[in-house]
Chains A and B, each alone.
Chain A
């Protein structure tokens, strides 16, 4: 069986499982569409309590509703997918399907790539139902173009995150003894490093460097610069180049890390009960 057909098979399987479950439990779909708005309202309430809308627009050149809706959407998609990947091995163990995945002919990289891809379709739908109407309402045709650009960039940010997350999974599951509590420490750390709510260009140098090692943070910066109207072509190419370069660089690290974890798992025995 060719590598492509193996990948297509695992992609089909993951898509099938995800869409079947989501369309069976429609409240998930509804909640996913509402989530960016819920985050927006929450942030605006906090924001208005400490400053005015006009000050925000003066300083950043963008309406806070747009900035935070886009940030909320970006965060939901990128962290949602990374969460999905990070928790997946534990979820597989809990369901008892790990042994059946290990004996399948699918390489681990294919499966980890296939897990977030179907979610991108959901992300596209939620982007079109949340971000797009508000931006058109605010900026008309330019809002349409800008919202589509933000959606596409968000999808790119999700994909470039995968090998990095794989590397993290391998390390924390091998040395962290598969403890889910470790993930709860990791999540807020990733949230900060992504720079979604605290833009990277405002970070201290140490945090900026750490953030620069996280591939989607470059895309996040590109989105933020686009929203505030400070993104030129050269800089955007540089940001996307960095994100894609890191994506490629992390692939061997991710594959090695996962195989290290798998070897460790086989040494101690895959849980079967």
Chain B
């Protein structure tokens, strides 16, 4: 039976901001950051919280990490309530909230980790060993950057150090808020690999926010799509793709007569795009089950004297899924 590690039930959070109107006057504005977010994350899972800027990703992570009290709703981490038992929750989590900041500029990466290790209760030899291990794990030792000042670090190095800090206490739960934002490809890849390893080999439970669809698809076991403070869909990347009506695209490039309308319509396809490119014709047909029409389509073209230059079936991307659901919630 799957063990529930993070549970959120109907989380609601509103922020009150003040909009300046002239020198002395101001107008209060209420921003609804979360409008009833519920989800469950099981042990050893990497769950992506995917959404655009302002969707409520960071607010959700802050609530789970006990850094923000929700207006209503509840959340638990390993059975501990995030408001009533915040102290117990904090013992179980490792957080990584921003890449650029969060360390002392005038200390080296190693010194910064030693500082936080001491704050997190590690002492003596245990602290030194853990810091040494983590510097190696995230690749800072390999880059020769462990003993450089934090202010001299590149964004990628800062992210690696932030990731190492999240692991200082070897917590069973990791909350990572856009951990690869703005990073160079090697650093992003390193962090993604580590995330997968920690979840799948060590059984850590990871909540991973991102607005990078590609990343969500390759890292996460399951994805929660969040938009305007609501979870609009959830499932594995494949399950999500199967949820949207327009699923696949047949992209066929042919050589021959440019008037293909009748030929395609004879297969019962009403909607398609045809564009001439360098004397060829590129045709895009959006359809749920391309395998059903592929054979007659090819036969039709070939039978009518067309030469097929290329034929590709494009799978929908998570971006398509996201745009579909985002469109639904905004209506």
Asked, given contacts A5-B123, A95-B102, A269-B67, whether A10 binds B62 with beta carbons under 8 Å apart, the answer is no
Which of A10, A103, A268, A269 has the largest number of chain B CB atoms within 10 A?
Answer: A103
Q: A12-20, A124-132, A140-148, A222-230: which one contacts chain B?
A: A12-20
Q: Which of A5, A103, A105 contacts B66 (CB 8 A)?
A: A103
Number of interface residues of B (CB under 8 A): 36
Q: Which residues of B contact A268 (CB under 8 A)?
A: 15, 68
Query: Closest approach, in angstroms, between the C-beta of B92 and any C-beta of chain A?
Result: 10
Q: Is the beta-carbon distance between B87 and A105 smaller than 8 angstroms?
A: yes
Tell me the bound Cα distance from A105 to B87 in angstroms.
7
**B115 CB–A CB distance under 8 Å:** yes
Q: Is the beta-carbon distance between A9 and B101 smaller than 8 angstroms?
A: no
A-B pairs, top 6 by smallest CB distance, nearest first, are A96-B101, A13-B118, A96-B102, A272-B97, A269-B68, A270-B67
Q: Which residues of A contact B69 (CB under 8 A)?
A: 263, 266-267
The 8 A CB mask of B302-326 against A (1 = contact, 0 = none) is: 0000000000000000000000000
Give the number of residue pairs across the A-B interface with Cβ within 8 Å: 107
**B103 CB–A CB distance under 8 Å:** yes
Main secondary structure of the interface of A (DSSP, over half): helix
Q: Which of A102, A105, A266 contacts B120 (CB 8 A)?
A: A105
Query: Closest approach, in angstroms, between the C-beta of A145 and any C-beta of chain B?
Result: 38
Output the nearest chain B residue to A263 by Cβ-Cβ distance: B69
Q: Is the beta-carbon distance between A21 and B106 smaller than 8 angstroms?
A: yes
A interface, size bucket: 20 to 34
**A6 CB–B CB distance under 8 Å:** yes
**B98 CB–A CB distance under 8 Å:** yes
Q: Which of B68, B114, B165 contacts A16 (CB 8 A)?
A: B114
Asked, given contacts A13-B118, A103-B90, whether A270 binds B104 with beta carbons under 8 Å apart, the answer is no
Q: Which residues of B contact A59 (CB under 8 A)?
A: none
Q: Which of A9, A25, A100 contacts B102 (CB 8 A)?
A: A100
A9-B121, A100-B95 known; 7 new pairs, CB 8 Å cut-off, are A16-B114, A17-B107, A96-B101, A103-B93, A104-B119, A105-B120, A106-B119
Query: Closest approach, in angstroms, between the C-beta of A266 and any C-beta of chain B?
Result: 5
Give residues in B with beta carbon < 8 Å to A: 15, 58-59, 62, 65-69, 87, 90-91, 93, 95, 97-98, 100-107, 111, 114-116, 118-123, 165, 177
Q: Is the beta-carbon distance between A103 and B65 smaller than 8 angstroms?
A: yes
**A38 CB–B CB distance under 8 Å:** no
Q: Which residues of A contact B123 (CB under 8 A)?
A: 5, 8-9, 12
Give residues in A with beta carbon < 8 Å to B: 1, 5-6, 8-10, 12-13, 16-17, 20-21, 24-25, 95-97, 99-106, 263, 266-270, 272-273
Q: Is the beta-carbon distance between A272 and B120 smaller than 8 angstroms?
A: no
Q: Which of A8, A21, A95, A269 contacts B103 (CB 8 A)?
A: A95
Q: Which residues of B contact A101 (CB under 8 A)?
A: 119
Q: Is the beta-carbon distance between B111 and A20 smaller than 8 angstroms?
A: yes
Q: Which residues of A contact B114 (CB under 8 A)?
A: 13, 16
Q: Which residues of B contact A267 (CB under 8 A)?
A: 68-69
Q: Which residues of A contact B106 (CB under 8 A)?
A: 20-21, 24-25
Q: Which of A1, A13, A270 contacts B68 (CB 8 A)?
A: A270
Q: Could you pull out 23 A-B pairs where Cβ atoms are within 8 angstroms?
A: A10-B118, A16-B111, A16-B115, A16-B118, A17-B115, A20-B107, A24-B106, A95-B105, A96-B100, A96-B101, A97-B104, A99-B65, A99-B97, A99-B102, A102-B67, A103-B90, A105-B91, A263-B69, A268-B15, A269-B62, A269-B67, A272-B67, A273-B97
